[in-house]
């Protein structure tokens, strides 16, 4: 559970101080999905720059230079790769036919298999996300085709963002959330992993006084926003696969989604038993709601108590034919 955030200013009319503050507000709000590390990328003198540190956002002073027209950021909850080694933290640098920075919200589980299958060299970077950078680099170009190939090759849950040296922003939307808005009058796009992060950040910004439109961004879509603010879209085929947890059920055709399976796989990192996550999924809680509970154990306990109490009442009614 990490967070993506950023903005792209294509008219150049929003004051630098407002954009600088927006970056920090987004980063701080994004701490709700990760405090192990944080970083941003931006273009300076035609080159991609990355600034990241293994500490929470509110302890980092993000200061992209005046004249910056796009910022791509990330806050990390570490699942693979020691955060103390800063090379494991996002964003990552990449080089194809152009320089780019890359960030990922989610977990990939076939990185080792892909290195063997595609003969991709080993790397000192331990983070599962980095395989996506290597897949793009192997194609030798950054475009819709290479991003589609990468998105269809990896297995896991994800949404990726990419910023190239020409201030073009790509969003590769998998099963993980992303909230994108457009201040058309200002010539400004802003994005964050969740609506709650966005609203928390904007509530403390002068931008809250302006009208914006929520932009559609659906699973299986690649969005390209260039430095002029023009959007183009293409699609990829999200991977479908049989859940490893299907054998828990009595019937053969039971499936979990990618996001649900990964929740079950890594909930132990939060000290939460997978049977509790399974129960919440059965009761209709969404993956995003459960992720919030994993980060807030008081909320998790309250919800589980309510669910288990309701479960007991239903069982009593089934046995005795009346409510308890």
Q: Above pLDDT 90, what percent of the chain?
A: 68
Residues 37 and 73 in one domain: yes
Please say which residue of 182, 203, 235 terminates a domain: 235
Residues 185 and 256 in one domain: no
- Tokens 């194609």, residue located: 139
Q: What is the pLDDT of residue 5?
A: 98
Could you tell me if residue 149 is inside a domain? yes
Q: What is the pLDDT of residue 204?
A: 97
Q: What is the pLDDT of residue 240?
A: 64
Residue 79 sits in a domain whose CATH number is: 3.60.20.10
Angle formed by the axes of helices 130-139 and 144-153, to 10°? 140
CB-based contact 145:163 (threshold 8 Å)? no
Residues 175 and 309 in one domain: no
Q: How many CA atoms, within 13 angstroms, populate the side-chain half-sphere of residue 307? A: 17
Q: What is the pLDDT of residue 293?
A: 87
User: pTM of this prediction?
Assistant: 0.79
Read off the pLDDT of residues 121-168 as tens digits, 9 standing for 90 and up.
999 999 999 999 999 999 999 999 999 999 999 998 899 999 999 999
Q: Which two tokens stand for residue 208?
A: 């809250």
Measured CA to CA, the distance from residue 197 to residue 57 in angstroms comes to: 13
Lowest model confidence (mean pLDDT) among 64-68, 198-202, 268-272: 268-272
**Mean residue pLDDT across the chain:** 89
Contact partners, residue 68, CB within 8 Å, separation at least 6: 19, 42, 43, 44
- Burial (CB < 10 A; 0-12, 13-18, 19+), residue 151, is buried
Residues 69 and 127 in one domain: yes
Residues 305 and 220 in one domain: no
Residues 253 and 117 in one domain: no
Could you tell me if residue 223 is inside a domain? yes
Residues 47 and 127 in one domain: yes
Residue 319 pLDDT greater than 60, yes or no = no
Could you tell me if residue 241 is inside a domain? no
Q: What are phi and psi of 195, to 5 degrees?
A: -65, -35
Residues 148 and 57 in one domain: yes
Contact partners, residue 17, CB within 8 Å, separation at least 6: none
Residues 204 and 280 in one domain: no
The residues that bridge with 157 in the sheet, in sequence order, are 107
Could you tell me if residue 285 is inside a domain? yes
Contact partners, residue 65, CB within 8 Å, separation at least 6: 42, 44
Residues 219 and 291 in one domain: no
Measured CA to CA, the distance from residue 259 to residue 245 in angstroms comes to: 13
User: Using only C-alpha atoms, what is the Rg of the chain?
Assistant: 21
Q: What are phi and psi of 192, to 5 degrees?
A: -155, 165
Measured CA to CA, the distance from residue 144 to residue 247 in angstroms comes to: 37
Q: What is the pLDDT of residue 267?
A: 77
Could you tell me if residue 240 is inside a domain? no
Q: What is the pLDDT of residue 258?
A: 67
Q: Which two tokens stand for residue 91?
A: 């964003």
Residue 115 structural domain? 3-235
Q: Above pLDDT 70, what percent of the chain?
A: 90
Residues 271 and 307 in one domain: yes
Length of the chain counted residue by residue: 324
Residues 56 and 194 in one domain: yes
Q: What is the pLDDT of residue 54?
A: 96
Sheet containing 47-53: order of strands = 47-53, 37-44, 70-76, 3-9, 188-192, 179-183, 213-215
Count of structural domains within the chain: 2
Instruction: Compute the average pLDDT of residues 57-72.
Output: 96
236 alpha-carbon distance from chain centroid: 17
Please say which residue of 235, 263, 292 terminates a domain: 235
120 alpha-carbon distance from chain centroid: 24
Pick from 20, 309, 82, 32: nearest CA to 196: 32
**Predicted confidence band at 256 (pLDDT cuts at 50, 70, 90)?**
low
**Predicted confidence band at 310 (pLDDT cuts at 50, 70, 90)?**
low
Q: What is the pLDDT of residue 294?
A: 85
Q: What is the pLDDT of residue 11?
A: 98
């Amino acid at each position: 559970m990490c967070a993506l955030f950023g903005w792209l200013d294509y008219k150049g009319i929003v004051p630098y101080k407002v954009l600088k503050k927006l970056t920090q507000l987004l980063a701080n709000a994004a701490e709700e999905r990760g405090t192990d590390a944080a970083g941003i990328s931006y273009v300076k003198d035609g080159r991609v720059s990355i600034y990241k540190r293994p500490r929470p956002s509110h302890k980092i002073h993000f200061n992209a230079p005046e004249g910056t027209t796009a910022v791509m950021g990330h806050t990390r909850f570490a699942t693979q790769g020691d955060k103390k080694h800063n090379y494991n933290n996002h964003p990552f640098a990449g080089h194809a036919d152009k320089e780019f920075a890359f960030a990922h919200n989610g977990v990939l589980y076939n990185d080792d298999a892909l290195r063997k299958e595609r003969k991709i060299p080993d790397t000192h970077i331990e983070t599962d996300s980095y395989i996506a950078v290597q897949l793009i680099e192997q194609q030798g170009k950054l475009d819709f085709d290479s991003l589609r190939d990468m998105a269809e090759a990896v297995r896991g849950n994800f949404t990726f963002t990419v910023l190239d040296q020409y201030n073009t922003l790509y969003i590769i939307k998998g099963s993980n959330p992303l909230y994108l808005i457009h201040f058309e009058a200002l010539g400004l796009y802003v994005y964050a992993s969740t609506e709650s992060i966005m609203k928390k950040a904007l509530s403390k910004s002068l931008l809250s006084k302006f009208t914006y439109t929520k932009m559609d961004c659906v699973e299986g879509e690649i969005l390209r926003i260039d430095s002029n603010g023009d959007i183009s879209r293409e699609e990829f085929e999200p991977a479908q696969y049989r859940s490893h947890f299907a054998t828990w059920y009595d019937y053969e055709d039971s499936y979990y989604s990618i996001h649900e399976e990964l929740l079950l796989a890594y909930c132990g990192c939060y000290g939460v038993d997978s049977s509790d996550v399974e129960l919440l999924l059965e009761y209709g809680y969404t993956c995003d709601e459960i992720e919030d509970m994993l980060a807030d154990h008081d909320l998790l306990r309250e919800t589980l108590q309510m669910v288990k109490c309701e479960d007991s009442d239903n069982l009593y009614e089934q046995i005795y034919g009346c409510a308890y």
